[in-house]
Copies of this chain bind each other. A is one copy, B any other.
Amino acid sequence: MAAVARAHPNIALVKYWGKADDELIIPAAGSMSMTLDKFATTTSVALTSGSDTFELNGTTADAKATARTTAFLDLVRDLAAQAGLDTAQAGAQVVSSNEGPTAAGMASSASGFAALATAAATAFGVELSSRQLSRLARRGSGSASRSLIDRFAVWHAGTSDATSYAEPISAPDMAMVSVTVNATAKKVSSRDGMTATRDTSPYYQAWIDTTVTTLNEMLAACAAEDFTRIGQLTETHAHRMHAVINASHPPIRYLAPESWQIFEEVTAMRQMGLEAYATADAGPNVVIICRPDDAAAVAARVGAYGQINTFSPGPGAHLVDVA
């Protein structure tokens, strides 16, 4: 009645920014990502007769994070009840630790809920397919659905709980070089930023429409193993995400001045023949994609801007211990 799982963050090349259903976390458009091979979250879930507890990075989590974890565990208990399991009544002791920076745009909520879904399903005795696990993780944090998946994932937007899940796709091997510009917590959470964008940005519907188009183009580029096309689509799409967010009222800015400097630097790299493309999630960090052989050269070019990490495609969420 205890399990430990491990999952990694993922970085989207086609972004998730906007919900069609806030409660079920069904996105307004699909997305596509690479699962990383570093910055894992390791989460253990042990059933107890008491109420849920949640320890994060060595300390008891705050009330908000604990409530979000309990709400997620309620989904697992619902699944246990549907399967006629006694564990439907159990509490859970959740202990989680992130190897990467928390809440600074490195998607710790994605690895966190992917690991939690995987560990909790096993601890509660609920048997789920990869697709069902992806759907479950999605309910905790949308992008967690993708961290279930090895290497490269497409998250189908779907139109219901059953049809909104991630699955693997094939893509050419690539590296990601992340620049951690500022690892403090962001001022506006992704959740709040998404809502503000949908409610106040005049570009929101066009953003959703262009994301649908870009995802189709990206899947075609991946299938064709066309790295240049993948990179161009990624960089334009990242600008479009920050643009739709910037256009909110009042304006929201996730990118820092240093982030824009890195975008300029990446443009300069290409002009000098080093083929790299930049993207950024809802925070100041910038992630550069390049061919694996170019990763060291790219890292050297941006070392002055912040802490550098280089990633390869990594494993999906997986159990590491069951007791």
Contact = CB atoms under 8 A, between A and B. Distances in A.
A239 B250 CA distance: 10
Interface residues of A, number: 30
Contacts of A17: none
A14 to B, nearest CB: 14
Interface of A is mostly: helix
The oligomer's copy count stands at 2
B210 A236 contact: no
Contact of A251 (B202, B205, B235): B235
A205 B240 CA distance: 15
Interface string A150-174: 0000000000000000000000000
Contact of A243 (B203, B209, B260): B203
A50 interface: no
A264 B260 contact: no
B246 A253 contact: no
Given A206-B202, A207-B203, A260 B263 contact: no
A250 B263 contact: no
Contacts of A8: none
A210 B264 CA distance: 29
Contact of A264 (B205, B235, B257): B257
Contact of A240 (B202, B235, B240): B202
Interface of A: 202-203, 205-207, 209-210, 232, 235-236, 239-240, 242-244, 246-251, 253, 255-258, 260-261, 263-264
